[in-house]
Structure 1
Amino acid sequence: MKANLLPGACKAFVLLLAAVVPGRALAHASEQGLVLLLPTDLYTGAGVAAVAATVVLLALLPAGWAARLFASVAVLRWRAEGARVVASCLSFLLLAALVVAGLAGPRDPLANPLPLVVWTVFWVGLVVAQGLLGNLWAWLNPWSGPLAVLRRLAGGWRVRRLRSGVWPGVATFLAFAGFLLADPAPADPDRLAVAVALYWLFTFGMALVFGPRWLRRGEGLSMALAAYARVGVFGRRGGRLRIGVPGWQILRGRAAPGMALLSVLILGTGSFDGVNETFWWLGVLGLNPFEFPGRSAIVWPTLAGMVVANLALVAVLSGCIWAGLRLVRSGMRLSRAFALFAPSVVPIALGYHVAHYLTSFMVDGQYALVALSDPFLTGADLLGLGEFYVTTGFFNTTGTVQVIYLVQAGAVVVGHVLAVLLAHALAVKAVGDGRRAALSQAPLALFMIGYTLFGLWLLASPRF
């Protein structure tokens, strides 16, 4: 199978975002051969046109229209701190049981519940649910509950002030991403069990020293999930649970430089995750995808590439924001503008996340159910599945694959459209005038249109 050449309009984006080498070998989209039979050029053109039409429409509509779109409505009063502590403690107990299963259970990653829960239930299912619904992780993280119980039993203690900003959170998030992308065997149950246990102990120890603030400023996964939660329809404001159009919390929230940077890193890491699996990129590296040397041979180049890809995306996005400020002669500092506009890319990251992992979730989710029903292969049926068999039949026909591909492409396009709407609403909020806001967003809008083209090409490209 020969990889298609990357369209010229996308090449600049890939070169900037993916000066990297491939290194991931988890579940892949096994329907990719049938995807290549679909009219992907037509789908790509339609998706890009939808994003471009959104940009043009926003320039013509009244200034306050986008802001009104992201209004929210109060649903009920929301005070459930005690329930959160209980839920977090239960999550910790479940994690401890999974670590035991990782060490003592079957060696097959598709039979052991630990890798399936971590990489399928958590990193795919929970992240998507977080992005669609809201901050579920505030209830399910395995640290805040045990920390609250221990502080209550000990009568509290003096914690140190965290003076390093968000850099610990950035470092821990990149460490997690590096393990996912570059480790030779991230799904090996033994290896993953040790990594999960050490990470839990490290995070809990730092939370003992710096208090719960560490979970908001130093724990990268919690910070990334908090960024995704701001896209969700549910959020808490003023002690009330509110509901609104996806992204309303980004528009109504405070512009925090740390969360803005992490928002871009989420998108950059997700983009790299896709590029490093393509035949096109292996061709750039001079590697034969059918003679791939293995993950262990490219660990350090993969880590370096991931960092370069993220730095490139931060630079490109900063340049677009700076150019927009210059167009309207705004006196706003670039750092403040970056903190304001960068979170608008999180819906794009969520769309990519859905598109990239959808097919693996459809298969590995079934394995996760089977493994959780019988975690030690003793013949138990804890979930009452009966005679349940994993199926991949939905990858065998062009019709079903077309539906899957359109869902993936739709997620990418919807993410970009939502990002364009948010960026425009944020610009109106910053400059107070619809025409100037549209002009200030022109460079960023062109970037998002180009990124749509890149994302849809990536979705349709041959992968190993």
Structure 2
Amino acid sequence: MTHRSRLRRLSVLFGTLAVWIAIGAQPVLAHAGSLGGSLRSVPAPFWLVVVSGGGIVGASFLISSFVTDDETLGAFARWRVAIDSSVGLLGTGLRIAGVVGLLVVIGISLFGPSVAVANFGVLLVWVGWWAGFTMVTYLVVDLWPVVNPFRTLAGRFRTVSTRTARNLPQRVGSWPSVVGLLGLVWLEVVSPLAASPRALAAVVVGYSIVTVTGAVVYGDDWFEHVDPVSRVFRLYGLLAPIQRTDDGVSVCFPGSALARVRTAFDTDDVAFVIALLWVTTFDGLVATVAWNAVLDATAPVPSWGVNLLGILGGFVVFFVVYQRAATVARRTADTYVTGSFIAGWFAPSLVPIAAGYHLAHFAGYVIGLAPALLTVAMDPLSPPAPIPVLGIPDWFGGVQLAFVVLGHLLSVWVAHTRSFDVFPGRLQPLRSQYPFVVVTICYTASSLWVVAQPTIGGVAG
């Protein structure tokens, strides 16, 4: 089958899926102020999806273990089609759009409607950017380095400044981005950022001041090591089938850029990948009835404290489990390579897991609130009432589960490819993956468990 015919079949498949969703979705009118009501759980027994999902991931490793040919694995990692295209004019337009979008978010959030679902600034941040734009980043191409309004503004300030950018202390590494990512998601959970436009405006303004100031002082190192948003998009961008290069763009297999990462991540970079994986799961967990029961059971303790313990504790558990798997992998592979190197070498393979869960968590969210975003965009300061929102059909829960499982399957394949780049022979690479397959199955089970849980205001799972 030729590459063009494959693309044609994929286009027909996704087009059919989009039409099916549109037919099955039911238009409803939004009455709630928060956007959380658009999230729905999967109407299926959680034990069924957990067992089946974990079984699929385990079976995928068994199947991939038969592929030990260097040429076949190399084709996945190295196949690329370069497209000689200039993004100069397009890049300028995207940079302008990024700055304008930032100003619109702040202005409309401050002076627009106080109801979240009717405020264009709130919808643009959560539906258009954090959900929709992020999906484009790992499904198509990473445009954030160009769109990033903070980078654009910092660049303008640096051109008129006589100061030279400082170097970040090496001992700091990328740990600030780990703390920043955990802190941002915790702030999203404990504060009414999705329900209060004024609160969102305050956070956006504060984040803009800190980020632009840091980038002016430390230059691009700030976006490379400190800014959590830039680091999230950079990791997700490595999953995309379109990669930006110095000469333009190139087309490759999804995830192959992750397999091509030539160095092992340092411990701080591994921690950031683990943090991304955990906060994506935690963001879905806090919307479930199960987590709400935990908050009720610990009622004397303020909810912000419980959520802080939850996000920090979950990160520590995920991080320790992964590091322990790397230590065990050193023994199963019977190698002199250190456990920290193994942990850093396989860390890129975790990115598809985070992306798969993000897609499962937010695909229905975007579809349900897209009519609201388009309607409010027509008249941001005085939108019509009521605001249209689509109700997602129950069968879409199966699609959510498929997204989670597909992310884990791609993770197994990336890890499989990377193992043959560092371990000799045919058995040693396979043995190095045993602990990580177990960890991946555990991650799959936990992710599917969260997706299958009934959500607050949602349907039972």
Instruction: State the identity as a percent.
Output: 24
Query: How far off its partner does 1:79 sit?
Result: 5.0
Structure 2 Cα separation of the partners of residues 236 and 125 of structure 1? 20
Q: How does 1:152-301 map to 2 (within 5 A)?
A: 152=159, 154=160, 157-163=163-169, 164-237=172-245, 239-253=247-261, 254-257=263-266, 258-283=268-293, 287=297, 297-301=302-306
Q: 1:84 touches 1:138 (CA, 8 Å); kept in 2?
A: no
Count of residue correspondences: 418
Which residue type is aligned with residue 281 of structure 2? S
Structure 2 Cα separation of the partners of residues 117 and 417 of structure 1? 32
Cα RMSD after superposing both structures: 2.6
Corresponding residue SS for 1:202: helix
Query: How far off its partner does 1:159 sit?
Result: 1.0
Other-structure match for 2:422: 430
Structure 2, unaligned stretches of length 5 or more? 1-33, 457-461
Query: How far off its partner does 1:196 sit?
Result: 0.2
Other-structure match for 2:12: none
Structure 2 Cα separation of the partners of residues 186 and 31 of structure 1? 16
Other-structure match for 2:347: 342
Q: 1:87 touches 1:145 (CA, 8 Å); kept in 2?
A: no
1:362 pairs with 2:371: no
TM-score by length of 2: 0.84
Which residue type is aligned with residue 140 of structure 1? V
Q: 1:51 touches 1:416 (CA, 8 Å); kept in 2?
A: yes
Corresponding residue SS for 2:149: coil
Query: How far off its partner does 1:265 sit?
Result: 0.7
Structure 1, unaligned stretches of length 5 or more? 1-24, 380-386
Q: 2:185 touches 2:283 (CA, 8 Å); kept in 1?
A: no
Query: How far off its partner does 1:453 sit?
Result: 2.3
How has the CA–CA distance of structure 1 residues 201 and 328 changed in structure 2, closer, same or farther, with 3 Å as cutoff? same
Structure 2 Cα separation of the partners of residues 235 and 408 of structure 1? 26
Query: How far off its partner does 1:62 sit?
Result: 1.9
Corresponding residue SS for 1:376: coil
Write the deviation string for residues 356-387 of structure 1: whole angstroms up to 9, x where unpaired: 122222222222212221110077xxxxxxx9
Write the deviation string for residues 331-357 of structure 1: whole angstroms up to 9, x where unpaired: 222222222111211111111111112
Corresponding residue SS for 1:401: coil
Query: How far off its partner does 1:40 sit?
Result: 6.0
Write the deviation string for residues 256-299 of structure 1: whole angstroms up to 9, x where unpaired: 324432111111111222233333344456549xxxx79x9401
TM-score by length of 1: 0.83
Other-structure match for 2:434: 442
Deviates more, 1:409-418 or 1:451-460: 451-460
Query: How far off its partner does 1:227 sit?
Result: 0.8
Structure 2 Cα separation of the partners of residues 430 and 166 of structure 1? 25
Corresponding residue SS for 2:65: helix
Query: How far off its partner does 1:48 sit?
Result: 2.8
The runs of 4+ residues in structure 1 deviating greater than 6 Å are: none
Structure 1 Cα separation of the partners of residues 92 and 182 of structure 2? 28
1:410 pairs with 2:420: no
Deviates more, 1:231-240 or 1:207-216: 231-240
Write the deviation string for residues 153-187 of structure 1: whole angstroms up to 9, x where unpaired: x2764111111221222222222112112224543
How has the CA–CA distance of structure 1 residues 391 and 145 changed in structure 2, closer, same or farther, with 3 Å as cutoff? closer
Query: How far off its partner does 1:51 sit?
Result: 1.4
Corresponding residue SS for 1:110: helix
Corresponding residue SS for 2:243: strand
